[in-house]
Amino acid sequence: MPATTSVDLTKTLKDAAYVTVGLGVLAVQQAQVRRRELTKQVESQLSGTTEHLQKVARQVEERVSPLFDQIEVALPGAARDLVKQARTAARDVPLLGRSSRGSARTAA
């Protein structure tokens, strides 16, 4: 009888190990699915935020541009050229994917 109990105990321990490994695999798969869902949600929110910030940046640029135009006219020649260069450089700096033409870069 002790040999049968030993075999039953070994079989039970093996079954428990298989169940544990199976549950671990399922948990990893579920974590991967949740990570993908969260990634999609964050990318969607980031895209919306980026679009909103680009819109705000365009509105600020539209409102500030006439002021800078007036300042440029009042400046002497060399200073006027420096201000124009600075404005051009500022327009060429991407703002969250915005290029100087206003087109958005696509994320990989």
Nearest to 83 by CA among 104, 65, 58: 65
Answer whether residue 103 shows pLDDT above 70. Answer: no
Tell me the pLDDT tens digit for each residue of 23-38.
999 999 999 999 999 9
Nearest to 87 by CA among 106, 67, 102, 107: 67
Q: Where are the domains of the chain?
A: 2-92
Q: Where are the beta strands (DSSP E) in the chain?
A: none
Under the banding of pLDDT at 50, 70 and 90, the label for residue 43 is very high
